[in-house]
């Protein structure tokens, strides 16, 4: 999935018509023509319905406030009754669905307000984060959209902003008692976004988004998560500062991630070609790719056995 503003949806339509993408992440600026622009992309997709996602967290990260109005931050939401938060999340997601979105890249279930997080976190208390994070996730599900909990395994107490550099979290044994708690309370149907984090005792200098130990080992095997796993944007400094995006895409898919966010749309063809080359030279196994494709097609509501591929 490339990251584009409303104007960039023209290029997304071209990519969709060529079957090169699973969807897109939309950022501001947007205007009243957004719904029509999204509908146009869906109409030309060569591979069926696409995932149309947006970061609509509230507070400092809300892409649709110019169309839908202001939304409180997670920290502000935590001062309201949980039932009211669920209703508000549902109402916002219903409005998003009316524009053509299928996925909200929220809630943030990081414990703590470290660099890059701040008021995006509900609390420093993992129980509070679990309660309000699950309320938002349920509200999004109530509206028929997919919520995406982020940033696994926990960015709230990390050392830096992953937009700029690779942050280091507390040691893994400390994460188990604090940062991993909210993930166990997310409702079925919630996807997980893996952050760009170095976890001492788990990944040791490798980003979690590229780590088999973090995604397949911890999230899938130890925690039993069998839903859709999404990467954070691979164009962020924590990853792109050390390697090119196509290389990172191969490593992320191999680690167990299903759906890749790959930054600007002009890099999509390069990522697609690198994935093909990785299949041919053995860096990626067909079984791992098929597993990811199966989850992504299920998310999109596309039956590969019944779809007439163009």
Does residue 104 surpass a pLDDT of 80? yes
Catalytic residue among 55, 110, 179, 232: 232
Domains and CATH numbers, the chain: 3-300 (3.20.20.300)
Catalytic residue among 163, 174, 212, 244: 163
Tell me, yes or no, if 80 is annotated catalytic: no
Neighbours of 280 (CB within 10 A): 9
Specify whether the CB–CB gap between 245 and 235 falls below 8 A. Answer: yes
Tens-place pLDDT, residues 78-89: 999 999 999 999
Tell me, yes or no, if 232 is annotated catalytic: yes
CA-based torsion, 254, 210, 105, 126: positive or negative: positive
Tens-place pLDDT, residues 106-161: 999 999 999 999 999 999 999 999 999 999 999 999 999 999 999 999 999 999 99
Report the pLDDT averaged over residues 46-75.
97
pTM above 0.95, yes or no: yes
Q: Quickly list DSSP for 59-121.
A: TTEES-HHHH-----HHHHTTS-HHHHHHHHHHHHHHHHHHT--EE---B--SS--TTTGGGS
The H-or-E segment that residue 291 falls in is helix 286-300
Tens-place pLDDT, residues 142-157: 999 999 999 999 999 9
């Amino acid at each position: 999935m490339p990251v584009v503003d409303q104007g960039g949806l023209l290029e997304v339509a071209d990519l969709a018509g060529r079957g090169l993408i699973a969807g897109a992440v939309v950022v501001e600026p947007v205007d009243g023509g957004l719904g029509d622009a999204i509908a146009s992309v869906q109409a030309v997709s060569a591979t069926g319905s696409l995932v149309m996602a947006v970061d609509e967290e509230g507070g400092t990260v809300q892409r649709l406030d110019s169309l839908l109005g202001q939304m409180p931050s997670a920290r502000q939401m935590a001062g309201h009754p949980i039932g009211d938060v669920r209703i508000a999340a549902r109402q916002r997601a219903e409005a998003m669905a009316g524009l053509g979105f299928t996925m909200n890249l929220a809630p943030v279930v990081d414990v703590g307000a470290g660099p890059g997080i701040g008021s995006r976190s509900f609390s420093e208390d993992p129980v509070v984060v679990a309660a309000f994070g699950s309320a938002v996730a349920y509200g999004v599900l109530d509206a028929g959209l997919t919520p995406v909990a982020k940033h696994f395994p926990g960015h709230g107490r990390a050392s830096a902003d992953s937009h700029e550099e690779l942050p280091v979290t507390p040691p893994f044994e400390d994460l188990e008692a604090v940062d991993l708690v909210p993930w166990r309370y997310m409702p079925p149907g919630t996807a997980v976004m893996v952050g760009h984090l170095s976890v001492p005792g788990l990944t040791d200098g490798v980003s979690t988004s590229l780590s088999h130990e973090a995604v397949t080992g911890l999230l899938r095997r130890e925690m039993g998560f069998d839903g859709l796993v999404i990467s954070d944007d691979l164009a962020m400094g924590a990853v792109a500062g050390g390697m090119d995006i196509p290389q990172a895409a191969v490593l992320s898919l191999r680690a167990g991630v299903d759906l890749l966010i790959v930054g600007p749309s002009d890099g999509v063809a390069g990522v697609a070609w690198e994935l093909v080359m990785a299949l041919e030279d053995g860096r990626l196994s067909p079984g791992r790719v098929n597993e990811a494709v199966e989850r992504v097609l299920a998310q999109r509501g596309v039956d590969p056995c019944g779809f007439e591929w163009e």
